[in-house]
Amino acid sequence: MLIYALTIFASAFLLFLVQPIMAKQILPWFGGSAAVWTTCLMFFQLVLLAGYAYADWTIRFLKPRPQVLLHVALIIASLISLPIIAGSGWKPGGEEDPTWLILGLLTATIGLPYFLLSTTGPLLQAWFARSFPKATNVYRLFALSNGASLIALVAYPFVVEPYISTHEQSIGWSFGYGLFAVLCGSSALFSLRASAQAATQQAGTPVAAAGPAPRATDYLLWLTLAALGSFMLIAVTNHITHDVASVPFLWILPLTLYLLSFVLCFEGRNWYQRQIFFGPLLVIVGAMAWALHTNGGVMDIKQAIPLFAAGLFVMCMFFHGELAALKPAPRHLTSYYLMISLGGAVGGLLVGFVAPKLFNTYYEFGLGLFFTALIAAYLARRTMVIVPVLALVAAGFTAYHIHTYINMLSKDTRVMTRNFYGTLRVKDFGDETSKDGTRRLMHGVIMHGEQFLAPARRMEPTTYYGPTAGIGRIIAIKNAAASDVRVGVIGLGAGTLAVYGRPGDTYRFYEINPQVIDLAKTEFSFLGSSKAKIETLLGDARLTLEAEPAQRYDVLAIDAFSSDSIPTHLMTYEAMGVYLKNMKPDGVIAFHVTNRFLHLAPVVKRIADEHGLHTILVADDPESGSDLANTDWVLVSRSKAVLDNKRITESQEAIGEIPGLRLWTDSFNNLFKILK
């Protein structure tokens, strides 16, 4: 059994380790959006499904020797894909659908190796059952597989990423895959020898413990429970990272709980028991539905994260515990795993692909809670009448609070829209008759722009862009020195910086999300009312700057780091070189580094020092009662003189040092190191 266990452990570990490695390679190309990870997850689930289908087909229709020969041949062929480094030809130009481009890139780069890793779990378990017909612990190998995946998940951000560059990660993983290929080939040969000594077998069918053939309802339940688990994993992840707290690494928590539930439910010691979990399940489903709209949908993070994390864990224990209770005899295990994989893919597709097309915000989270209560009622239908009735009551309670949540989102909301990059809302607070009435552009819990509604105040700078902020000060200096200032801005938001534009000036805004451009032009008047020439460019800013002629900017504002989804490719040594190419000799690059969770200023200074540039941190703390926000801007320039201006130095603060901080490059960055 050891050779099977080692191979399954290695395959599952590599299977999960490659996911963040590939996502991190391509994340910079698509603007650092969290939706990149969702799309990657959808791809991995689909390939996992293909791998499980392949395992089921080979076990059903091929005799042992052809099975082994085919699998070994595919393993050898997959070695051609190594090392797993995405080709630069896959970089987007700005007009493509990011979802399809990412799926194509992943297929070409990691498709066959990932497919073969995906086949390992069910295929080797079937070989084990065939080699050891009397064994009763075959399903524990599934728990081992999920345990290995869990170790890889936790190891990446805390052990791998902080010390190893992306390129080195890809090379190291490729060597690990080579080791897996040897283990898998050895397991295949061993299975032939072991099965030859086992009891007589039918062609292509493993001799294993007898049991009734699964019914159609069994297949449907396997698929439904697996789909709900996958669906709620992504729905809860989206909700807590988008609508609760923009905290780095928060996405790890839901996935850890999801995998842990698989380990506990299939480990074989009856960790899941319906009579213990059923009551807490109904209570916590109702509590999460209520939490959607309590306190105006802004629940305290110290309460929200524990609630949603505990809720996801209880739900996953329910889904996967019921799955484990319904597992068939080992001879049917490949069909069972195929349905689990199909369900996982369906759940992922519904959230990652279908929901963005159908919904204008994250409604799927509430819908998942509702269907969880319904499936609980169905499974409890043969118990005492009160149990399924309570489940139906929970479903009704959930539906009511979902309806309340939808009404809450719609109140005073002018526009709510959703695409690959997330959900955007334009909401009014007050009206134009009030001096303080504002219109805000929101991306989850992050505000990306605000404008006063009163006509007399509409062209006042707001939030992070006031005249005493670093960006306001440097623009004022440049305006005093020339009548035709060129300003570039990475990150459009509502277009607030356009208020500083004068006749003869040019303001060019780079924005990756087309819906942001539409909203800035239709819901806010900063761009349309600016006296400067306004240009908006769709696409990733760095790729655009690399491709276009040198722009000779007086000021280039990099304003894309306020959330946890940091587009790290905009803050690297190589990125700074791109910016410098587009600057005048005395031009200033202004990094907006205001962030609740990350120390970004030391990263910018480290990069600037490596380029021999001058830096200064301008911290703005507006007077009490001001409509402006506290902000930090790091100004970078070749010219020391421009940064020595009194208007800059009077608000200067020292940039703190982070011991051991490495230079961020295109192949290395470490968010964990700069956490506050």
170 and 306 assigned to the same domain? no
Q: Which residues pair with 507 in a beta bridge?
A: 487, 534
**Is 448 among the domain residues?**
no
Written in H, E and C, the secondary structure of 160-213 is HCCCCCHHHHHHHHHHHHHHHHHHHHHHHHHHHHHHHHCCCCCCCCCCCCCCCC
Please list the residues that pair with 583 across neighbouring strands.
553
According to DSSP, the residues that pair with 508 across neighbouring strands are 488, 535
Domain count, the chain: 3
Report yes or no on 436 lying in a domain: no
* Cα–Cα distance for residue pair 246/564, rounded to 1 Å: 5
400 and 253 share one domain: yes
Residues 524, 516 contacting (CB under 8 angstroms) = no
Both 485 and 371 in one domain: the answer is: no
**What residues in the chain have per-residue pLDDT under 70?**
28, 31-35, 37-38, 93-96, 134-136, 194-211, 243-248, 296-299, 384, 563-565, 624-625
Q: Is 616 exposed, middle or buried (0-12, 13-18, 19+ CB in 10 A)?
A: buried
- 229/276 same-domain check: yes
Do the beta carbons of residue 665 and residue 165 sit within 8 Å? Answer: yes
Residues 557 and 629 in one domain: yes
- Write the CATH number for 292: 1.20.1250
Q: pTM for this one? A: 0.83
Instruction: Tell whether 504 and 527 lie within a shared domain.
Output: yes
Q: Is the peptide bond before 328 cis (omega within 30 degrees of 0)?
A: no
- Residue 177 and residue 153 share a domain: yes
Domain assignment of residue 589, yes or no: yes
The first and second tokens of residue 167, run together, are: 């390129």
User: Would you state the pLDDT for residue 405?
Assistant: 82
pLDDT at 415: 92
Place of tokens 């893919």: 345
How far does the chain reach from its first CA to its final CA, in angstroms? 46
- What pLDDT score was predicted for residue 411? 78
Q: Are residues 400 and 470 in the same domain?
A: no
> 570 is written with which tokens?
């905009």
Residue 571 lies in a domain: yes
Cα distances from 651 to residues 266, 402, 424, 447, 646, in angstroms, run 60, 47, 34, 25, 9
**Is-contact 414 428, C-beta < 8 A?**
yes
Q: Could you tell me which residues come within 8 angstroms of residue 80 by beta carbon, excluding any fewer than 6 positions away? A: none
What is the predicted pLDDT for the residue at 298?
A: 65
Residues 169 and 192 in one domain: yes
As given in the structure block, the two tokens for residue 566 are 């940091």
Instruction: Answer whether residue 522 is part of any domain.
Output: yes
Residue where one domain finishes, among candidates 370, 389, 411:
411
- Domain membership flag for residue 290: yes
Task: Give the 3-state secondary structure of residue 31.
Answer: coil
Q: Alpha helix locations (H) across 198-328?
A: 216-239, 252-266, 274-291, 301-325
User: For residue 435, is it within any domain?
Assistant: no
Q: Domain range spanning residue 350?
A: 214-411
pLDDT, one tens digit per residue, over 223-269 is 999 999 999 998 998 888 776 666 667 778 898 999 999 999 998 78
The CATH number linked to 663 is: 3.40.50.150
Q: Is 428 helix (H, G, I), strand (E, B) or coil?
A: strand
Torsion of CA 323, 352, 146, 265, to 10 degrees: -30
For CA atoms 474, 477, 478, 484, the dihedral sign is positive
d(CA 234, CA 166): 25
Question: DSSP letters of 34-99?
Answer: HHHHHHHHHHHHHHHHHHHHHHHHHHHHS-HHHHHHHHHHHHHHHGGG-S----GGG---SSS-HH
Q: Is the dihedral of CA 435, 440, 445, 446 positive or negative?
A: negative
Side-chain half-sphere CA neighbours of 550 within 13 A: 11
Question: Does residue 509 sit in the same domain as residue 620?
Answer: yes
Phi, psi (5° rounding) for residue 537?
-120, 125
| 417 touches 515 (CB < 8 A) | yes
Residue 25, domain member (yes or no): yes
Together in a domain, 488 and 551: yes
Question: Do 190 and 222 share a domain, yes or no?
Answer: no
